[in-house]
């Protein structure tokens, strides 16, 4: 299925991210459906760049993913000793001092934080899997519109990781502390009906 932004000349098209702008509407598309739009540090840098490239005329930004999944979370190569060529592995990150770890995480988080700018409304159009970093990216937006097949899950804790890409704060604001804690610590899936009923979408 062709995406609505494919006929527009992209302002950015790299590392799994395409940005198109038409008047006051911008569309940011995750463009690696073969990998279920899995996320890498390069993708995060491209998402941050998309936010910096938005013209002042933009008032609405739609975030979408090509294919069956919005984003299945972190690229699994990040969990291997070899990692992703040119990127630090989790082992490399763990060897850094606290300041180095904090700086790297802050760089990654920029991809997740600019969506809440006060000069625009951001909308995540979410279908299929929105797992871990994918869930956190959708939570970065002001609004989430979901397909019937959506599956949100905060899987980081089942991998021994902290969901530190800024998703937990908006999750608490949307569903309350107790429900957010339960979703995070169990890593369970939240479908469309529950997401809508609970104020998540």
> Per-residue pLDDT tens for 17-56?
999 999 999 999 999 999 999 999 999 999 999 999 999 9
Contacts 24+ apart (CB under 8 A), 186-192: 187/153, 187/154, 187/155, 187/156, 187/157, 187/158, 188/153, 189/151, 189/152, 189/153, 190/151, 190/152, 190/153, 191/150, 191/151, 191/152, 192/146, 192/147, 192/148, 192/149, 192/150
Return the bridge partners of 44, or none. Answer: none
pLDDT tens across 82-101, in order?
889 999 887 888 889 999 88
- Predicted confidence at residue 1, as pLDDT, reads 47
Asked if 86 contacts 140 with a C-beta cutoff of 8 angstroms, the reply is no
How many whole angstroms separate alpha carbon 171 and alpha carbon 146?
Answer: 16
Please state the pTM of the whole predicted model: 0.91
How many whole angstroms separate alpha carbon 98 and alpha carbon 180?
Answer: 27
Architecture of domain 12-197: Alpha-Beta Complex (3.90)
Average pLDDT, the chain: 92
pLDDT tens across 110-152, in order?
999 999 999 999 999 999 999 999 999 999 999 999 999 999 9
Residue 185: count other Cβ atoms within 10 Å of its Cβ.
Answer: 11
Angle between helix axes 168-175 and 177-186 (nearest 10 degrees) is 130
Domain ranges of the chain: 12-197
Locate 54 and state its tokens.
């938005």
Residue 138, Cβ density class (10 Å: 0-12 exposed, 13-18 middle, ≥19 buried)? buried
- Predicted confidence at residue 3, as pLDDT, reads 58
Of residues 58 and 166, more confidently modeled: 58
């Amino acid at each position: 299925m062709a995406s609505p932004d494919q006929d527009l000349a992209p302002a950015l098209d790299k590392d799994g991210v395409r940005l198109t702008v038409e008047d006051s509407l911008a569309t940011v598309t995750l463009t690696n459906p073969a990998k279920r739009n899995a996320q890498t540090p390069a993708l995060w840098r491209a998402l941050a760049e998309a936010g910096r490239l938005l013209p002042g005329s933009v008032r609405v930004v739609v975030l979408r993913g090509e294919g069956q999944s919005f984003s299945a979370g972190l690229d699994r190569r990040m969990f291997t000793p070899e990692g992703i060529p040119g990127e630090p592995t989790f082992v490399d990150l763990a060897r850094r001092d606290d300041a180095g770890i904090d700086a790297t995480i802050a760089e990654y988080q920029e991809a997740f934080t600019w969506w809440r700018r006060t000069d625009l409304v951001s909308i995540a159009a979410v279908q299929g899997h929105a797992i871990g970093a994918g869930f956190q990216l959708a939570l970065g937006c002001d609004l989430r519109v979901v397909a019937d097949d959506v599956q949100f899950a905060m899987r980081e804790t089942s991998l021994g990781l902290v969901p530190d890409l800024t998703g937990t704060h908006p999750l608490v604001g949307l569903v309350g502390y107790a429900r957010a804690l339960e979703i995070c610590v169990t890593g369970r899936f939240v479908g469309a009906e529950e997401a809508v009923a609970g104020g998540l979408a």
